[in-house]
Amino acid sequence: MFIRCNSALSQARKIIRIRLEKYPWLILALFGTLSFTIFTVYSFERYLAFQTNFFDLGLDTNSIWRTINGYDSWTSLIIPSTPGHINHISPILGLVAFGYALVPDPRTLLLIQAAAVTLAVVPLYLLAFRETGNQLLSLIVSGLYLANPALHGIIRFDFHVESFIPLFVFLIYFTYPRQSPTMFYLSLGAMLSTIEYSAILGTGIALSFWLATKRLDKRILVTLLGSLALLAIIVASTFAGVFESWNWHANWLTGQFLGSSPAFWSSPDAFLASLTYGIPAKITYLLVATAPMWIALPKYSSRMIPAAPWLAVVILSSRYSYSNVNFQYSVFLVPFVYLAAIPFLYGILRHRRVILGLITIALSVTFLYSALSPTASNWPAANPLASTVASISNGLPQNVTILTESDLYPQLSNKAYVSLNYSSPEPPQYILVNFDSAWYNWTSPALGFPLSSRDQTERLTSQYPYQLVFQDQGLHLYRLGPG
C-alpha cells in the first residue's frame, strides 16, 4: 500500500512538472484570476457595506465624474488645484477617467484597482524567469507577491492611484535591458504620473540601475532627470509657493507627509517623539510587509535602494497610516522586496526545504495579518440599506445640492454638488445622513471638517424648513421645503 501511494505521488509530481514546463502561464493565470476575484469581491462588498468613504473613493469618483461631465476642467483632476479634488499630482487619473466614463459607477474604480494590483504579477513573473530561467521559482515569487498582507492593504482602503505603482515598477525593471526603449519610457512616464512620491521612487530606481550596471546610460539618465524634475516642481511648490496662483497651496509637501503633526526636524523633542511613536507597530509592519524575505533585503540591498526613503519615513513618522499594513502606502516598499527576492531565492534554489519553509512562513503571515484572510474578523457584508441608498441616489437630480456623511458620500459621488462640509450661504436642497453610523458624529478640524454631520444637520433643520421625506432605520433624507 505504501509503495503504491508513493508511486502515485511520484507520478503526480511528474505530470505536474510536465504541465508546468509546457504551460507555465496556466498556473500564473490561476493565481491571477483567483487573486483578482478575491480583490474585486472584497472591494465591492466594502462598498456595499458602507465601509468605503469620502477618503478616497468618494473624492476620486466625484472629481472624475465632475470632470467628464463638464463641471470642472481636466486640470483640476490631475494636479493639486481647486479645493475638494485629489490634492495630488496624478495625471494618470486622466486615463482612469476614460475607463470610468464607460461605466460611471464608483465600483469601476475598485475594479480598475484590483486589475492593476493583479496584473503586476505578469511583468514580475517574466522578470524572474528571465533572470533565473526557472519557471517554478518565478511562480513562487509571483505567488508570494499576491499573498503579501501589505499589498492587500490597498485593496482594503478604498481607491488610490498608488495601486498602479507595482505594475509600473515591475515593467520598468523588465523592459530596462530590452532592445526597444519604448515600453521602458512609457512605464517610467506612467509611474511618474501616479503620485508625487513616485519622483523619489524614480530617483532610487535610477541609482539602483546605475549601481548595478556601473554606467550611466540614456535610460538611467532619463529616469534620473525626469524624477528630479518632478521633485523640483514639488519642492518649489512647497517651499516657494510658486503655484499658488493655481490654488496649489504652499507647504504642500509637508502637509502630505506630516499632516498636522509637527515636523520631526523642528526640534530634538519632535524628532524623538516621532522616532519613538508606535515602535511596536512600526516593527510589526516592517516584519509583515517584508515577510519572509528578511535576509534577502540586506543581501541584495541595491534593489532596495528605491525603498530606502520610505523605510526612513515609516521609522521617523508619527502618522498611524504609515506603519499599518491596511493602508495603500506599502506599495512604496512591497515591489522592491520581491525584486530582491528573485536573486535571493535563486541562490538557495537547491535548498528546497528552506524555500518550502519560507513559503509556509509567508502564508502563515498572510492568514494572520491580511485583511482579506479567511480568518479575518472584519470581512465586509453588504449593509441592508445599500439598495435603499442606491435608489435614493438614482432618484435625486444630478444638479441638486446635498449634504451627507463620509460613508454615504461614495454612493452619492455621481452628483455635482454633494458635500461633507456645507459652507454655501444657501442651505443644501437635500440632507442624507445615517443616525446609526459612526461617521454621523465624525469631525476632523485638521483636515478641514470642524463640524460633524450631526452638528450641520441639527443646525440646518432648526434654521430652515426641512421636511423628513424618507426614513429607514437610522437613515434620514431631508428635503428643503418652501419657507
DSSP 36-77: HHHHHHHHHHHHHTT---IIIIIHHHHHHHHHHTTSS-THHH
Q: What 3-state class would DSSP assign to 337?
A: helix
CA distances from 428 to 139, 144, 431, 465 (A): 55, 50, 7, 11
Alpha-carbon span 282 to 51, nearest angstrom: 25
Mean pLDDT, to the nearest integer, of 171-181? 95
Mean pLDDT, to the nearest integer, of 18-31? 77
**Greatest mean pLDDT among 20-24, 262-266, 438-442:** 438-442
**Residue 12 forms part of a structural domain:** no
Q: Do 347 and 460 lie in a common domain?
A: no
Q: Do 351 and 230 lie in a common domain?
A: yes
**Residue 291 forms part of a structural domain:** yes
Q: Do 185 and 227 lie in a common domain?
A: yes
**What's the pTM?**
0.91
CB–CB of 67/74 below 8 Å? yes
Please report the pLDDT score of residue 213 as a whole number.
Answer: 92
Say which amino acid occupies 194: T
* Residue 386 CA neighbour count, 13 Å, CB half: 14
Of 19, 34, 209, the closest CA to residue 121 belongs to 34
Statement: residue 249 has pLDDT above 70 = no
Statement: residue 275 has pLDDT above 90 = no
All three cell numbers of 70, joined, read 463638464
The per-residue pLDDT of the chain, averaged, comes to 88
Statement: residue 188 has pLDDT above 80 = yes
Work out the angle between the directed axes of helices 165-175 and 182-192 (0-180°, nearest 10): 150
Say which amino acid occupies 398: Q
Of 272, 260, 364, the closest CA to residue 320 belongs to 260
**Residue 378 forms part of a structural domain:** no
Q: Do 114 and 194 lie in a common domain?
A: yes
Please report the pLDDT score of residue 214 as a whole number.
Answer: 92
All three cell numbers of 301, joined, read 540591498
pLDDT digits (tens, 9 = 90+) for 102-131: 999 999 999 999 999 999 999 999 999 999
Query: In the chain, what percentage of residues exceed pLDDT 90?
Result: 67
Q: Do 59 and 98 lie in a common domain?
A: yes
Q: Do 352 and 412 lie in a common domain?
A: no
Please report the pLDDT score of residue 258 as a whole number.
Answer: 53
CA dihedral 20, 25, 31, 32 (to 10 degrees): 180
Please report the pLDDT score of residue 3 as a whole number.
Answer: 62
pLDDT digits (tens, 9 = 90+) for 81-99: 555 566 778 889 999 999 9
Domain region containing 155 = 27-369
pLDDT digits (tens, 9 = 90+) for 207-248: 999 999 999 999 999 999 999 998 888 777 766 666 666 656
Q: Do 281 and 178 lie in a common domain?
A: yes
Alpha-carbon span 18 to 360, nearest angstrom: 24
Of 200, 39, 19, the closest CA to residue 119 belongs to 39
Mean pLDDT, to the nearest integer, of 387-401? 95
pLDDT digits (tens, 9 = 90+) for 149-166: 999 999 988 999 999 999
**Residue 21 forms part of a structural domain:** no
Please report the pLDDT score of residue 247 as a whole number.
Answer: 59
Q: Do 290 and 430 lie in a common domain?
A: no
Spatial strand order of the sheet with 430-434 comes to 417-419, 401-404, 430-434, 475-480, 466-472
CB–CB of 28/19 below 8 Å? no
Count: domains in the chain: 2
430: part of which helix (H) or strand (E)?
strand 430-434
CB–CB of 200/231 below 8 Å? yes
pLDDT digits (tens, 9 = 90+) for 177-187: 999 999 999 99
Mean pLDDT, to the nearest integer, of 318-326? 88
Q: Do 266 and 346 lie in a common domain?
A: yes
Own/partner contacts of 45-48, CB < 8 Å, gap of 24 or more, are 45/379, 45/380, 45/381, 45/382, 46/156, 46/380, 47/106, 47/107, 47/110, 47/410, 48/380, 48/382, 48/383, 48/386
